[in-house]
Structure 1
C-alpha cells in the first residue's frame, strides 16, 4: 500500500456518508430505508482501522491512534446523547477503542499488548449491553485484520461477526416476518466487509481528499449539525 492510499480515504469518506445517512432517520422525517446503507458504516470504519494496522505493521505505535479515539469518545458523548432519543448505549467510539486494543494484540506478541487486549475483552464482555454493537463489535476490527490480505471469500468471517454485532431482536424478528428494510439491513451487514475489501483492492486510482486527524471532529460535529436541522424542521 502507498503512503497515502486513495482507496482507503475513499472507504473512510463512504463510511462517514453512510453513518450520516443512517442518522438522518432521527431528524424527523420518515426514512426507515436509510437503515440499510447505515449498516455499512460501522464495518467500514472497522475495515479502515484494520487497513491502517496492516499497512503500518507491528512496528508502529498505536498510542497516538488510541489517544485520539479516547479523546473523541469523551467529546462525542454529549452531542450523541443530545441527538439520539433515549440512547441505550455509549457512542460508537468506545467500541472502536476496545477493538483497536484487541486487533493490535494480534500483531504484537508483547505481554503489554496481550494484557491490554485481555482487559478490553473483559470490559466488552461485562459491559456489552452498554457498548454500541456489543461484544462482537469489539471483535470486528480483528476479524477484518485476519482476512485483510486473504482471498475475497474469507470476507464471510467478518460478515458473520458483523451480523452477530447487530443482534437486535427487533431486527431479526422483522426479517423473519419478511420486512424488506430488516432483510436489507441483514444483507448489508453480511456483505459490507466484502464490499469494503473489493473497494480497497480495486479503487486505488481514485484520490479523494485525504481524511486526516481532523476528521475525528466530524463525528461529534455531525450530531450537532443534524440536531440543528431537526430543531429548524420541527
Structure 2
C-alpha cells in the first residue's frame, strides 16, 4: 500500500467509473425488473469503489478533523434529500434500509471517532448504524480499512480487513464480483490521468438520477408496465 498513491485525476476516474456502474445497476433494478444480469454484476463494484475513494480522501494530510466533519455533513444532507425518492422506488420496508449516501455518512462518522480516539463509541456506532443502512456494516468497514491503510500505513492488517470486508458482500450480492473493485482501483493507479474535479457533482447526481428514474418509471407504469422491485 505504501507504493500505491492515487492522484487527483485517478480519484476522479474512479468516481466516474463507480457512478457509471451504479447508474447501470439502478436502471436495471428499477426500470428493467433486474432482467439484465451483466448490469447487476457490474453494479456490485460501485459501492466498494465509492467507499475506497472516501476512505482514501479522508486519509489525506490536508483533511483536518474540521474538513472531515464537512465531508460527513454533505453526505448526510444529500442522503436525507435522496431518502424520499429512494424509498419510493421500492425499499424493503419503507425507509429501510437507508440509502448509500447515508451508509457513507455513517462510515465517515466511524472514521471520525477513530481519529478522535473514541474507539468504544466507534464500535457501538458501527454496530448500530449497520442495522439501518444499505449494505449494512460493509461500507463502514471498507472506508475504515482504506483510511487506516493510507493514513497510518497499517498495510497488512488493513489489506486483509479490506479484502475480507469486500468478500463479505457475497452474503448480500450472492456473488464475488465486488472483489473486482480492488483490481479496478489497482489498475487505475497505473495510468496517468488528468481529470478535472467537478465540485459537488457526485452529491447532486445521486438524488437527481433517482428522481429521473422514478419519473420514467411513473410514465412507464401509466402505459401498463409492471414493476416488481
TM-score by length of 1: 0.76
1:15-34 matched pairs, under 5 angstroms? 15-25=18-28, 26-29=30-33, 30-34=35-39
Contact 1:46 1:140 in 2 (8 A): yes
Secondary structure class of the residue paired with 2:117: helix
Judged with a 3 Å threshold, the aligned counterparts in structure 2 of structure 1 residues 72 and 155 are, in CA distance, closer, same or farther, namely same
CA distance in 2, matches of 1:207, 1:225: 30
Q: Which of 221, 224, 232 is 2:208 aligned to?
A: 221
Equivalence for 1:141: 143
Equivalence for 2:45: 40
Secondary structure class of the residue paired with 2:131: helix
Equivalence for 2:10: 7
Contact 2:110 2:126 in 1 (8 A): no
Q: Establish whether residue 131 from structure 1 lines up as the match of residue 133 from structure 2.
A: yes
Judged with a 3 Å threshold, the aligned counterparts in structure 2 of structure 1 residues 121 and 75 are, in CA distance, closer, same or farther, namely farther
User: Cα offset for 1:60?
Assistant: 5.2
Q: Which runs of 5+ in 2 are unaligned?
A: none
Greater percentage in helix: 1
Q: Establish whether residue 198 from structure 1 lines up as the match of residue 206 from structure 2.
A: no
How well do the aligned residues superpose, as a CA RMSD in angstroms? 2.8
Contact 1:18 1:37 in 2 (8 A): yes
CA distance in 1, matches of 2:90, 2:51: 22
User: Cα offset for 1:212?
Assistant: 1.5
Q: Which of 91, 98, 104 is 2:99 aligned to?
A: 91
Judged with a 3 Å threshold, the aligned counterparts in structure 2 of structure 1 residues 46 and 85 are, in CA distance, closer, same or farther, namely closer
Count residues in correspondence. 210
Equivalence for 2:75: 69
Secondary structure class of the residue paired with 1:202: coil
Secondary structure class of the residue paired with 1:134: coil
User: Cα offset for 1:85?
Assistant: 4.8
Contact 1:83 1:224 in 2 (8 A): no
User: Cα offset for 1:53?
Assistant: 1.8
CA distance in 2, matches of 1:126, 1:50: 20
